[in-house]
A and B are shown apart, each in its own frame.
Chain A
Amino acid sequence: MDGNGTAWDTQPDDEDLRLVNALRVGDEVAFASLIDRHYDAMLRVARLHVATREAAEDVVQETFLGVIKGIDRFEARSSFRTWMFRILVNQAKTRGERERRTQPFSSLEGELDADAPAIGPDRFRSEGRWAGFWCAPPSAEHLPEACVLAAEAGDRLAAAIDALPPAQRTVMTLRDVEGFSAAEVCSLLDLTQGNQRVLLHRARSKARASLEQYLGERVEA
């Protein structure tokens, strides 16, 4: 099985409870370390929805203010991180829709309905006994371990992800860049597990295609 250890519950752990209690009694050191630990990730997630770094910084600021105000309302029905990022995503979405940078998430239906194969049908045999089997299989050329090339490939992938429809972009970034579990992403974005998987599947399929294209160009060069 896959090694990413899909954790299906987002229950708060002991660490969470300690943190929440520390914040409730006014422990400033705990709050400072909360900021330092999550600021970057929050900024990246906010940037999925708003146009500029400045706007994203505003969203993160508003989120932390929301945490200060709302900490008494944290009901321990989710992990603290999920709770906090939920505030963040809601703020960022609202602001993004106001800016009209992104189509609202209401375009989600479109992202789920559209019939988009992971791989174009021309890559498979169309007739005979082996119809549906590869005729143009992915090649076994691999990236060397060298970091420079990996960074170049990373840029290409970042561009590919940026071009994804909003819900796919958000799901893949949360899962594969920020390391959120499937359950956390469902909770953050109000998605069913099935829809989360469809969006992830489409996003990963397209990202892989752009990596394959990059690898192909390197071989030709």
Chain B
Amino acid sequence: MRQPAVRCQEFVELVTDWEEGALDDASRLEFEEHMAICPPCVEYVKQLRLTRAVLRGAAELDRRGPSAPPPAARAALLEEFRRQRGNG
């Protein structure tokens, strides 16, 4: 097997820059060449994405819980809005 320019140990440090679109063209190409021939590093990227998916899923579940603004706080804000900005 030909040696890729980027090693796994470097790959895992570049992955965020790659995902954020912050690599220059040459580095991006080297990164993607590595990814094309290294299944464990593909697995690594998948786990990073799974991490985010699990987080978003958990946040969605949270949002279904009872967490509307406390009625008293909401009423106080509306009252203050009326006092300062109302037309009355």
CB neighbours of A76 from chain B (8 A)? none
A60 to B50, CA, bound (A): 31
From A80-88, A90-98, A99-107, A136-144, the one touching the partner chain is A136-144
B12 contacts A133, C-beta separation under 8 Å:
no
Of B16, B57, B74, chain A has the most CB atoms within 10 Å of the CB of: B16
Question: Does B36 count as interface, using CB distance less than 8 angstroms?
Answer: no
Number of interface residues of A (CB under 8 A): 63
B58 contacts A154, C-beta separation under 8 Å:
yes
A177 contacts B59, C-beta separation under 8 Å:
yes
CB neighbours of A161 from chain B (8 A)? 55
B51 contacts A119, C-beta separation under 8 Å:
no
CB neighbours of A212 from chain B (8 A)? 47
A64 contacts B77, C-beta separation under 8 Å:
yes
A176 contacts B56, C-beta separation under 8 Å:
yes
Question: Does A112 count as interface, using CB distance less than 8 angstroms?
Answer: no
Question: Does A57 count as interface, using CB distance less than 8 angstroms?
Answer: yes
Q: Given A61-B73, A205-B12 in contact, is the A177-B55 Cβ separation under 8 Å?
A: yes
From B20, B56, B85, B87, contact of A68 by CB (8 A): B85
The smallest C-beta distance from B58 to any residue of chain A, in angstroms, reads 3
Residue of B nearest to A211 (CB): B51
A68 contacts B16, C-beta separation under 8 Å:
no
A153 to B79, CA, bound (A): 42
A50 to B40, CA, bound (A): 40
B13 contacts A143, C-beta separation under 8 Å:
no
From A2, A35, A117, A154, contact of B13 by CB (8 A): A117
From A12-20, A162-170, A196-204, the one touching the partner chain is A196-204
From A71, A133, A153, A157, contact of B7 by CB (8 A): A133
A60 to B61, CA, bound (A): 22
Give A contacts to B, CB under 8 Å. Answer: 1-2, 4, 6, 23-26, 28, 31-32, 35-36, 39-40, 43, 57, 60-61, 64-65, 68-69, 71, 117-119, 121, 124, 129, 131-134, 137-140, 142-143, 147, 150-151, 153-155, 157-158, 161, 176-178, 182, 193, 197, 200-201, 204-205, 207-208, 211-212
State the 8 A-B residue pairs at the shortest beta-carbon distance, nearest first.
A154-B58, A137-B40, A132-B7, A201-B16, A39-B69, A132-B9, A26-B85, A118-B12
**Beyond A124-B8, A154-B57, 13 extra complex contacts between A and B, CB < 8 Å:** A26-B81, A65-B77, A68-B84, A71-B85, A133-B38, A137-B43, A151-B61, A154-B58, A157-B58, A177-B56, A204-B52, A208-B48, A208-B51
